[in-house]
Amino acid sequence: MSKAIVLDKALKQVSDIELPNKYAEIKEHNLYLYVKSYLASLRSNTAKAKNRGEVSGGGKKPWSQKGGGRARAGSITSPVFVGGGVAHGPQNNRNYNLKINKKQKRLALEYALEQKASLNKLYIVDSINIESGKTKEAHAMFKNLNERSTLFVTKSNTDSTFLAFRNLKHCYLIDIDEINAYLVATFRSVVIEKEAFEELIKGGK
């Protein structure tokens, strides 16, 4: 059974919290489906090539139908001409969104949390609040964890805490309502406020 590590104010381990047994039974495929859907939703869908009807020009038949010894042609906008339209080119009306239901989203998040806990990379703290708003204090917290990258999850993200973490590399601060399986899986470690963690376990997210 995987456990989340509970840290004190000095970010030293004081205890641990067991994750629900059901988390260990979730299939990895749920995370795969969610990540695939999440990344698909980020596609800008701006690639666009003009077809023969959108290329300017081509009002006049380039040469006579017969007698020239060349293949017949009706317009210079044809894809066979340089500067003509593109045949089967990309169009910006494609929908890349992949549907995934709420239950699978939840299962994907629970699986991602389980994986972090199994690697001893899921931490619980009383508070992530930095009232001063100073980046050096946020950096000190991150440095004490000794992790390559960290996702910080709060119950109520204040402006001062946001400012403290805003310019830090390899750190990302979010509110509990913003957490998802992709973010949990992407970062090397996850630090969650105790109150936010309890809400998450109860299925509040």
| Torsions phi, psi for 61 (to 5 deg) | -65, 125
Based on the fold, state whether residues 88 and 148 are members of the same structural domain. no
DSSP character for 19? P
Q: What is the mean pLDDT of residues 111-137?
A: 95
In angstroms, what CA-CA distances link 123 with 8, 78, 151, 154, 172?
10, 62, 10, 12, 15
Cα distance between residue 20 and residue 126, in whole Å? 20
Confidence label for 16 from pLDDT (cuts 50, 70 and 90): very high
**pLDDT for residue 204 is more than 70:** no
Average pLDDT, the chain: 93
Based on the fold, state whether residues 118 and 166 are members of the same structural domain. yes
pLDDT of 133 reads 92
Confidence label for 120 from pLDDT (cuts 50, 70 and 90): very high
Question: 3-state class of 174 per DSSP?
Answer: strand
DSSP character for 41? H
Cα distance between residue 76 and residue 56, in whole Å? 10
Based on the fold, state whether residues 104 and 19 are members of the same structural domain. yes
pLDDT of 44 reads 87
Based on the fold, state whether residues 69 and 168 are members of the same structural domain. no
Global pTM? 0.83
Tokens encoding 164: 């403290």
Question: Which structural domain range is residue 125 located in?
Answer: 3-41+99-201
Based on the fold, state whether residues 31 and 72 are members of the same structural domain. no
Based on the fold, state whether residues 70 and 120 are members of the same structural domain. no
**pLDDT for residue 202 is more than 90:** no
Identify residue 67 by its one-letter amino acid code: G
Based on the fold, state whether residues 36 and 86 are members of the same structural domain. no
